[in-house]
């Protein structure tokens, strides 16, 4: 069935494996669970990826989120170009960092102070350290199938690559670290209540993806986030919304705006860097003032607030801020695509569940609602792998795992959606 010539990708993958663990610098890229040879990308523009063999793909990964306005978005490209001659790093403060912080505060509710870091992992890791320093407590609660980056404390029942590769526990994470990470099922408030009751005054933070995107896309049940908010307030627990994926994507102000619920700390990544390595965490001054140099919770970074990364992120955020109709258009596109796919799979009598919120969606093959990690795992993920390769052969690039979210960019056209649906039709 191989129609596309991917000879160069094949050769590059063989070469990469001699020098880079598994041939990749991040596990999900390796196609381990879907099988086959990863596609080596040469360039991308707008809605399309082009591989080393010259094949074109409609991109539904969009660098796992950042490319919300499409690849090589001209204002971002121009902004980077305009800055790069002034040196790529100083390790000293710049006005651009203030502009970035001011813009984030304008777009996002509930942030008095914000610290820039270099990845989503760093943002989440630092937010948890801060919550522990602020409360003087050790334990955290996370949800099964949620991913908060690869810091030790989060590699317990984690989503994304860990879910894809079926890794239960990670050698190298000390048991005493893992012990302090308690887990509950997503959307299950009773389990959270039990954990809090079993560990009175021991829980520093609850960290959650308010819309889960690392086990496929799963929306919070009605009232779930509000109930978490109330529990945290009642028990003096810091509520951390991990908006690395949802921030600036589901709304300008992320899920805090979308659901009207305020977290105590919020973490960002992905879109905030406009495709450069950036993360951020922020929140109320009362908590944030414990971060060094204001307080003693130490956190630092040689390249944090890097000028090239800042100008890329700032330019992208500015576009999103000045053009709120983008979100409505993205949502419409995602609706057309997901309903179209649903309709075709229905016709073909293939049992499926399509979850969708804003410009995030996922397709699971099964008969039951997908509301948490267990229900996501119970789907026919081997069928997903076939689906993935079928679409890839037809020039459509999906995330190479049923445990990942598809991201829509504003450059996806009606024609691209029709091309995708025609490919699904042939499945």
Ligand X SMILES: *Cc1c(COP(=O)(O)O)cnc(C)c1O
Residue 120 touches ligand X, criterion: CB under 6 A: yes
Question: Which of residues 213 and 313 has its CB atom nearest to ligand X in the complex?
Answer: 213
- From the list 110, 109, 153, 107, the residue with the least C-alpha distance to 130 is 153
Residue 48 touches ligand X, criterion: CB under 6 A: no
Give me the sign of the Cα torsion angle 270, 276, 282, 288.
Answer: positive
Choose the catalytic residue: 83, 139, 252, 270: 270
Tokens 């001659």 belong to 85
Phi/psi of residue 363, nearest 5 degrees = -115, 120
The question of whether 83 is a catalytic residue gets the answer: no
The question of whether 60 is a catalytic residue gets the answer: no
Q: Which region holds residue 182: left if phi is over 0, alpha if psi is between -120 and 50, else beta?
A: beta
Q: Site map for ligand X, 340-379, x if CB under 6 A?
A: ----------------------------------------
Least gap, CB of 119 to ligand X (angstroms): 4
Neighbours of 349 (CB within 10 A): 7
Token digits of residue 188: 């299950």
User: How many Å is the maximal CA-CA distance in the chain?
Assistant: 61
Residue 242 touches ligand X, criterion: CB under 6 A: yes
Residue 142 touches ligand X, criterion: CB under 6 A: no
For residue 399, CA distances in Å to 61, 185, 208 come to: 6, 24, 22
Among 119, 126, 306, 410, binds ligand X (CB under 6 A): 119
Question: Which of residues 65 and 366 has its CB atom nearest to ligand X in the complex?
Answer: 65
Stretch that binds ligand X, among 240-248, 287-295, 331-339, 345-353 (CB under 6 A): 240-248
Choose the catalytic residue: 48, 57, 60, 147: 147
Among 23, 66, 145, 213, binds ligand X (CB under 6 A): 213
DSSP calls for 352-420 = -EEEEETTEEEEE-SSS---SHHHHHTS-HHHHHHHHHHHHHTTEE--SSTTS-EE--TT--HHHHHHH
Q: How many residues does the chain have?
A: 427
Least gap, CB of 213 to ligand X (angstroms): 6
The question of whether 176 is a catalytic residue gets the answer: no
Q: Site map for ligand X, 77-116, x if CB under 6 A?
A: ----------------------------------------
Question: Which of residues 38 and 213 has its CB atom nearest to ligand X in the complex?
Answer: 213
Residues between 146 and 175 with contacts to ligand X, criterion CB under 6 A: 147-149
Q: Answer whether the bond into residue 372 is a cis peptide, omega within 30°.
A: no
Stretch that binds ligand X, among 143-151, 200-208, 249-257, 326-334 (CB under 6 A): 143-151
Among 62, 121, 355, 375, binds ligand X (CB under 6 A): 121
Token digits of residue 414: 């009606």
Residue 254 touches ligand X, criterion: CB under 6 A: no
In the sheet with 360-364, reading across from the earlier edge strand, the strands are 353-357, 360-364, 406-407
Residue 209 touches ligand X, criterion: CB under 6 A: yes
The number of residues that bind ligand X (CB under 6 A) is 15
Reported as type and span, the H/E element at residue 42 is: strand 41-45
Chain position whose Cβ is nearest to ligand X: 120
Residue 274 touches ligand X, criterion: CB under 6 A: no
Residue 124 touches ligand X, criterion: CB under 6 A: yes
Residue 245 touches ligand X, criterion: CB under 6 A: yes
Strand extents, DSSP E, 198-278: 203-208, 238-242, 265-268
Choose the catalytic residue: 242, 264, 372, 416: 242
In whole angstroms, what is the distance from residue 9 CA to residue 34 CA? 16
Question: Which of residues 263 and 423 has its CB atom nearest to ligand X in the complex?
Answer: 263
Residue 269 touches ligand X, criterion: CB under 6 A: yes
Token digits of residue 4: 């596309």
Residue 244 touches ligand X, criterion: CB under 6 A: yes
Residues 279 and 272 sit within 8 Å (Cβ to Cβ): yes
At residue 290's C-alpha, the angle toward residues 288 and 291, to 5°, is 75
- The residues that are catalytic are 147, 242, 270
Give residues in contact with ligand X (CB under 6 A): 119-121, 124, 147-149, 209, 213-214, 242, 244-245, 269, 279
């Amino acid at each position: 069935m191989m129609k596309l010539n991917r000879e160069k990708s094949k050769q590059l993958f063989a070469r990469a494996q001699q020098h880079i663990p598994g041939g990749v610098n991040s596990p999900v890229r390796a196609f381990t669970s879907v099988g086959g040879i990863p596609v080596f990308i040469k360039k991308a523009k707008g809605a399309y990826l082009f591989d080393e063999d010259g094949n074109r793909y409609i991109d539904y990964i969009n660098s796992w989120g950042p490319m919300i306005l499409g690849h090589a978005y001209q204002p971002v490209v121009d902004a980077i170009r305009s800055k790069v001659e002034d040196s790529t790093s100083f390790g000293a403060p710049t006005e651009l960092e203030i502009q970035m912080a001011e813009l984030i505060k304008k777009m996002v509710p509930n942030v008095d102070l914000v610290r820039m870091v270099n990845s989503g992992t760093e943002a989440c890791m630092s937010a948890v350290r801060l919550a522990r320093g602020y409360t003087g407590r050790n334990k955290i609660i996370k949800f099964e199938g949620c991913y908060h980056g690869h810091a030790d404390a989060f590699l317990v029942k984690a989503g994304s690559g860990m879910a894809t590769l079926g890794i239960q526990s990670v050698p190298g994470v000390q048991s005493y670290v893992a012990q302090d990470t308690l887990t509950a099922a997503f959307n299950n408030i009773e389990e959270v209540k039990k954990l809090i009751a079993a560990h009175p005054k021991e829980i520093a933070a609850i960290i959650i993806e308010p819309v889960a995107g690392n086990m496929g896309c799963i929306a919070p049940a009605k009232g779930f986030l509000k109930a978490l908010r109330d529990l945290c307030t009642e028990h003096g627990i810091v509520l951390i919304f991990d908006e690395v994926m949802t921030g600036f994507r589901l709304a300008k102000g992320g899920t805090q705006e979308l659901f009207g619920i305020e977290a105590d700390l919020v973490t960002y990544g992905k879109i905030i860097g406009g495709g450069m390595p950036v993360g951020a965490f922020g929140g109320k001054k009362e908590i944030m003032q414990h971060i060094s140099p204001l307080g003693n919770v130490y956190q630092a970074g040689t390249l944090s607030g890097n000028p090239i990364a800042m100008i890329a992120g700032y330019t992208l955020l500015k576009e999103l801020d000045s053009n709120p109709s983008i979100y409505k258009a993205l949502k419409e596109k995602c609706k057309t695509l997901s309903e179209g796919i649903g309709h075709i799979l229905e016709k073909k009598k293939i049992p499926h569940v399509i979850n969708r919120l804003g410009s995030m969606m996922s397709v699971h093959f099964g008969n039951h609602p997908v509301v948490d990690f267990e229900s996501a795992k119970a789907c026919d993920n081997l069928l997903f792998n076939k689906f993935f390769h079928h679409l890839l052969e037809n020039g459509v690039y999906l995330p190479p795992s049923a445990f990942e979210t598809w991201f829509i960019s504003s450059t996806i056209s009606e024609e691209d959606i029709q091309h995708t649906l025609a490919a699904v039709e042939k499945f």
